[in-house]
Amino acid sequence: FRSTLHPPEVLEGIGIEHAIKSSAFEPSTNLFIPFYRQAGMLLEAVTWKEHGCIDPVLTGMPYADITAALDYYFEHLNGGRPFVIAGHSQGAAILRLVLKGYFKQHPDRYRRMVAAYAIGFSITKDDLEACPHLKFATGESDTGVIVSWHVEGPKNVECNAPTAALLPNGIAINPINWKRDDTYAPASKNLGSLVMDYDTGATAIRDIGADAQVCVERGTVVTHAAAVPNEMPEFAGPESYHQDDYSIYFNNVVDNVAKRIEAYKNQQQ
């Protein structure tokens, strides 16, 4: 990761994000990771409190940067190939806008999308109704679909905690059994969680007891994983695993990306 625009500590943070999130796509894809000017978390928090969502701070510079990066990718690097697109948290929130707007304007590009992994931010029933070109995943190998979940613990559900990543009428899919209903998936079916030692940067795949069950009412995935809840309860609730949305189900993501790509290839034959 090289850039003259960012100090070393920012690049170090990007390296960590890559290790625990986007690296899940490396076994099956070539990664294109553009830099963009993101909205600060304080601004996100204020906007969320005032408007009930963070869209107003994303539709300017952040969205313009991402769509410009997509234009460059499709015009110079894609070569007409199928692609997977993914984001997390604010990245998933921008991806939601990209799916609704950019790909509506570029249906030729959208037709080559294997899947969109919008993890850590709500995709809603309202989004799908307003944008008939969008489809949410219904299983583990359908293509041209959106895959989304947001991980939290039972305490968040018990107090119906509002979080900046959740929107009304949100939808989630279970990253273990790939069902959208509340069918429980035990930790024994989890293919492996990625755990990072933040002192050394080393990562390892481990069993941390990460089960999964969709809370249909909230549009989230609930787990009893032996992980440390994220900080900032005022932003994410008392038991949020937002930072670990990918890593808790890391090997499941790796496996699922491969399956959806294989399914796409088979459809083209």
pLDDT of residue 20: 78
Mean pLDDT of 153-177: 94
6: pLDDT confidence band, cut at 50, 70 and 90? low
pLDDT of residue 102: 97
pLDDT of residue 120: 94
Distance of CA 21 to the CA centre of its chain: 9
pLDDT of residue 15: 67
Burial of 30 (0-12, 13-18, 19+ CB in 10 A): exposed
pLDDT in tens, 196-232: 887 787 889 999 999 999 999 999 999 999 877 776 7
pLDDT in tens, 106-163: 999 999 999 999 999 999 999 999 999 999 999 999 999 999 999 999 999 999 998 8
Mean pLDDT of 12-23: 75
Residue 3 has pLDDT above 70, yes or no: no
pTM summary value = 0.91
- Cα 261 to Cα 142: distance, rounded to the nearest angstrom: 10
